[in-house]
Amino acid sequence: MKKILVLGAGMVGRAIAKDLAKDHDINVMDISKENLSKLKNIENIKVIKSDAGDMKLLKKYSSDCDLVISAVPGFLGFEILKKIIKCKKNIIDISFFDKDAFELDELAEKNKVTAVVDCGVAPGLSNIILGYHNSKMNIDSFECMVGGLPEKRDWPYQYKAPFSPIDVIEEYTRPSRIVKNGKVIVKEALSDIETVKIEPVGELEAFNTDGLRSLLKTMKISNMTEKTLRYPGHTELMKILRETGFFSNEKLLINGNRVSPLEMTSKLLFPIWRLADEEKEFTVLKIKITGTQKDKPIEYQYSIFDKYDDKTKTSSMARTTGYTCTAAARLVLGGQFLQTGICPPEFIGAEQNCFEIVINELEKRGIQLVKKVIQ
């Protein structure tokens, strides 16, 4: 059995810890006593109430670990990744921070660290699929749509956050980058809204978010887009809040006090957006890859529709994100993926054996990836 340190005991972090605890010793660090309490009395899991950003504590608790997994909110992710690399520990990261992970590539290479970043569902699994096909064909276009939604559509937002709510708001404000005719184009978040039909849900709306990330550097593909899925009407509400200034970090002077609109909005929204224990929700992933293979036109379509698991009491977003992460963790621990430096998931997908192992690990956990080929 290997020893793994998991940073973050939120919904996804807990799913990761439980999955890896089946065959490894797990330490889970989180500042939240409430989060950690949900992992007590589980075999092979030890909880540590501590600040994951404390370098001394990271050194202490990672010193005898074979791997670190970072499942912290995005605003903490980059600095924690940097600290773990300095500790010379291999790491799988799902924090989805806004900085460029490749800024740490030289540091990771110097310390001979394998740092797999953005290893969730999308980015993550979507990158793995694209990386695999990019090694097999000439790709002209990549389209990805993804979303996690509650089954019950409560007014007014028709939304619950299956991961850190502060990271959701970041999706609604961070400019999105797409590739069109070989050029990177910056679009406003929540732009280019389109209606798509998703079975068995019905109509959803898709809008631009900044999910291509590492693909902008690692892939030479003429057209690439990534969109987030929500119930119809949600996007317009978010645009109203954003344009009014509710998502701004610039503090306002109110009755002699300086108040951050984003902090206030977060306090108001988070209780409404929080998924209740055992609340039913689902995750949708749709991918379309077009190009030529053996000099013939071809299109690959992949889709996932995954629901809350009643048996294990695990959300679909925790399953699809967390089990992609644990599959990558097992590849690194087992020596199947050995590349050092900053490694986005498309590097894993480019190795056929690794691609097949990831897909198999997901299938063993009931996550069905439906594939369709159009020639």
Copy the structure tokens of residue 326: 């644990």
Tell me the average pLDDT across 272-292: 94
**pLDDT tens-digit profile of 291-332?**
999 999 999 999 999 999 999 999 999 999 999 999 999 999
Res. 163 pLDDT band, cuts 50 70 90: low
The predicted structure's pLDDT at residue 311: 94
How far apart are the C-alpha atoms of 68 and 59, rounded to whole Å? Answer: 11
Q: Residue 165 pLDDT > 80, yes or no?
A: no
The pTM for the full model equals 0.95
CB of 228 within 8 A of CB of 209?
yes
Q: Which stretch of 45-54, 132-141, 204-213 has the lowest confidence by average pLDDT?
A: 45-54
Does residue 24 carry a pLDDT above 80?
A: yes
d(CA 368, CA 38): 27
Domains along the sequence of the chain with CATH: 3-117 (3.40.50.720), 125-307 (3.30.360.10)
* Strands annotated E in the chain: 3-7, 25-30, 45-49, 67-70, 91-93, 114-116, 138-150, 176-180, 183-187, 194-198, 202-208, 223-230, 252-254, 257-259, 281-293, 296-307, 341-343, 370-374
